Chain A
Amino acid sequence: AQSVSQHNHHVILSEAASLELGCNYSYGGTVNLFWYVQYPGQHLQLLLKYFSGDPLVKGIKGFEAEFIKSKFSFNLRKPSVQWSDTAEYFCAVKSWGKLQFGAGTQVVVTP
């Protein structure tokens, strides 16, 4: 069965620490990959996307992600987090039109 797996359910870190969230998927063929973020009380927002080309993609707010085809991975990174990065982060794969989401990672950044 096709699936999207996020490695951590909860992450707590201090401001200025580096963040890396893991995402693995099990789809064959061409996929489009996304990271979405949901800040408290807000709707899902697109952080970044990978369709093709350079496997290192940069998104908003200093986030980046690397697509490694051989590992079926699309990990999200930010070198130095801020308190405002507290949110839930979702990895998603688009296949046959629809998005399949990972379970999400709740990230809490402490001052």
Chain B
Amino acid sequence: GAGVSQSPSNKVTEKGKDVELRCDPISGHTALYWYRQSLGQGLEFLIYFQGNSAPDKSGLPSDRFSAERTGGSVSTLTIQRTQQEDSAVYLCASSPPDQPQHFGDGTRLSIL
């Protein structure tokens, strides 16, 4: 069946630009998660959605980062005024309640 889909798979942008990363979770998965994977920092939690609400935003590194989820499905992670330290692979995962998370292939973000 279809897994977690993320787009774009790669994004190269200039410092200072805004970027939007998209995640399509597995159909029926109520929980959706964003993580970031970078050299030296490993895998870091960013934000978690249950339905359309975000009970835990504790991992967002700054107010330049925001995320939303609509219709209990698609989620968008937005990074404003990108900085070079934002370069990383951004991973999305989804799960049914109290079940393991399924990960997408990620979006590799490179800030020039």
* Interface residue ranges, A against B (CB under 8 Å): 34, 36, 42-46, 49, 90, 96-104
**B45 within 8 Å of A by Cβ?**
yes
Chain A nearest CB: distance from B74 CB in Å? Answer: 18
Docked Cα-Cα span, A56 to B105, in Å, equals 30
**B59 within 8 Å of A by Cβ?**
yes
Determine whether the beta carbon of B48 is less than 8 Å from that of A101. no
Tell me which residues across on chain A come within 8 A of B105, comparing CB atoms: 42-43
Determine whether the beta carbon of B55 is less than 8 Å from that of A44. no
Determine whether the beta carbon of A101 is less than 8 Å from that of B100. no
Determine whether the beta carbon of B50 is less than 8 Å from that of A104. no
Return the chain B residue nearest A48 by Cβ.
B100
Determine whether the beta carbon of A96 is less than 8 Å from that of B56. yes
Q: Which among A90, A96, A99 has the greatest number of chain B C-beta atoms within 10 A?
A: A99
Tell me which residues across on chain A come within 8 A of B101, comparing CB atoms: 46, 99
Q: Which among A49, A98, A99, A104 has the greatest number of chain B C-beta atoms within 10 A?
A: A98
Interface string of B65-103 (1 = CB under 8 A from A): 000000000000000000000000001010000001111
Which of B50, B56, B59, B103 is within 8 Å of A44, CB to CB? B103
Chain A nearest CB: distance from B7 CB in Å? Answer: 14
Docked Cα-Cα span, A45 to B104, in Å, equals 9
Determine whether the beta carbon of A34 is less than 8 Å from that of B59. no
Determine whether the beta carbon of A103 is less than 8 Å from that of B42. yes
Determine whether the beta carbon of B31 is less than 8 Å from that of A101. no
Docked Cα-Cα span, A23 to B84, in Å, equals 32
Which B residues from 22 to 73 make CB contacts under 8 A with A? 31, 33, 35, 42-43, 45, 48, 50, 55-56, 59
A43-B105, A44-B91, A97-B31 are contacts. A90–B43 as well, Cβ < 8 Å? Answer: yes
